[in-house]
Structure 1
């Protein structure tokens, strides 16, 4: 009986807290164009996971509202999306505006908290460590790797030449994976040759999971009770060969 009486009160408090959070964020973003959110769903109904019109709707937003847009993801937070080169250059080159959005926590189980996913002092420390590694002269020693894997890509493309169409993004992704693993970790995984190896399938699975979570109503606390969490743990089991 008490539970029945308490549930509406708890729900009301939760909604009020969420509303205050959205309102506090909105005052900083009110001048950014975007489609008006629909009740608690925000703009999420236009970006349902697996929707075949996902990309069309996204491009429609950009065409209607401009190169920098704002939309509500249904989880009481806002997402700022921009294809404005100058704005992105200003934002990404900043050493002050480095706080990551809440969505980056979805990568923590996969990448941990490194340069990609961390903020504050952790980000600065990682940035200092790898800054010199990105000098163009460092890349010269890996040209042989680029060439040898590139030869494999050319052979793969030649074998696909007689077909009506080729999923080029798949081949380029496998090429990039081969280059990164061999150049950065000294591991030849032969992704181009193997096609859908366990490692490649796990990467695809994790990418799909992250996208699903971005557009999901389920809170991080309840996520561990879902089937998606089990899929993530299964996919991450193949990290062993990299961490060994």
Structure 2
């Protein structure tokens, strides 16, 4: 147990892209695994909540990186809960390389929903969370609302079996994949991701189909909107790049 704890990860072949850097999907996966591991160790993990027919859902996430790890790196993620409100809890992350240097931070907002009604549940149903609050922030703005996007269609999808998680909806990592695939290999040869933000608005489930719209709002700064034909706007996101 620990209100603030660090978790170490090995960089595996499946975690890196063609540039031998950790992909955005893999980095996000390590961040979310860290959240899950810490919640489980402290008694309010996914399996504990599901015994009461509740589950965690990610509402918003912002990640800010000085650099992404490479295949030669050791990598660790430190996490803690900063706030517990009525509907949302704020969980922070600090990323370090093998030398202990800080290479990034992240901030996330989580909610609990009733799996039977799909409605949010007040967080005072998990009173033990209060004892794990750490009054420490990170140098990342609170995940905010992303504006409506009017842009070109950059990707499309139809949800299949492998994209559905234990909550019965599309796993968060598949949204990251859809967004990442909006750019070519040539683009990634010349750009590195600096900041990633995502707002989840509606659940996407098996068989849903739709498009990812992309809009450049400034050089190397892009907004995205994931729209389904069945449910409308399900997600908005932003990626800011470093030019090489």
TM-score w.r.t. structure 2 length? Answer: 0.25
Greater relative contact order structure (CA < 8 Å, 6+ sep): 2
Structure having the higher strand fraction is 2
Larger radius of gyration: 1
